[in-house]
Amino acid sequence: MIHTRLVPGDRVRLTVAPKGFGSENMSALRMFTPAATRQDLVDYIVGVVQKAGSNPCPPVVIGVGIGGDFEKCALLAKEALCRPLSRRNPNPDYAALEQELLEKINALDIGPQGFGGQTTALGVNIETYATHIAGLPVAVNVGCHVTRHATKEL
């Protein structure tokens, strides 16, 4: 898939993120209503990982997209996989949610390759976007333990 975005200036930034379908098949998107609570989102995201079990070759990296529309939300989740795990979301509320999700996912005891243990996920990254007041799309893009990407500016 190739996505483009116009930006000011005379440079182009390319990001390549090769991804296998073992983890891609475990990804999911749900259109919540605005009545959904924070806990509803936590339960959904953790549930996606729990349902995936050992299929995406854990330990996994979880990219979460919140907002936009159906299409934008999925792209946000994929872009979240490209953020370094050492860099939290700049919004303190979302950074706290990333940490909470990581702890709950690691408590599932799926572990590396599904053999059990406390390292089911290496990280959870959340990206957000404005959305229509009538909806709250949430996408979960699962990345396997070899989640990889590279960026080059030309």
Establish if 4 belongs to a structural domain: no
| pLDDT confidence band for 15 (50 / 70 / 90) | confident
For residue 83, being part of any structural domain is answered with: yes
Give domain status of residue 5, yes or no. no
Q: What is the pLDDT of residues 102-144, one digit of tens each?
A: 999 999 999 999 999 999 999 999 999 999 999 999 999 999 8
**Residue 7, pLDDT score:** 77
Residue 72 lies in a domain: yes
Strand partners, 64: 126, 140
pLDDT tier for residue 18 given thresholds of 50, 70 and 90 = confident
Q: Which domain holds residue 119?
A: 20-147
Q: Going along 33-101, which residue ranges are E strands?
A: 60-67
Contacts of 90 (CB under 8 A, 6+ apart): none
In a domain, 9, yes or no: no
In the chain, how many domains are there? 1
Q: In the numeric block, which tokens belong to residue 100? A: 């909470």
Q: 141: part of which helix (H) or strand (E)? A: strand 136-143
Residue 154 covered by a domain:
no
Q: What is the pLDDT of residues 19-39, one digit of tens each?
A: 888 889 999 999 999 999 999
SS3 113: helix
In a domain? residue 121: yes
Give me the count of residues in the chain. Answer: 154
Contact (Cβ atoms closer than 8 angstroms) between residue 105 and residue 33: no
Question: For the segment 35-72, what is each residue's pLDDT rounded down to a tens digit?
Answer: 999 999 999 999 999 999 999 999 999 999 999 999 99
- Specify the DSSP class assigned to residue 30: E
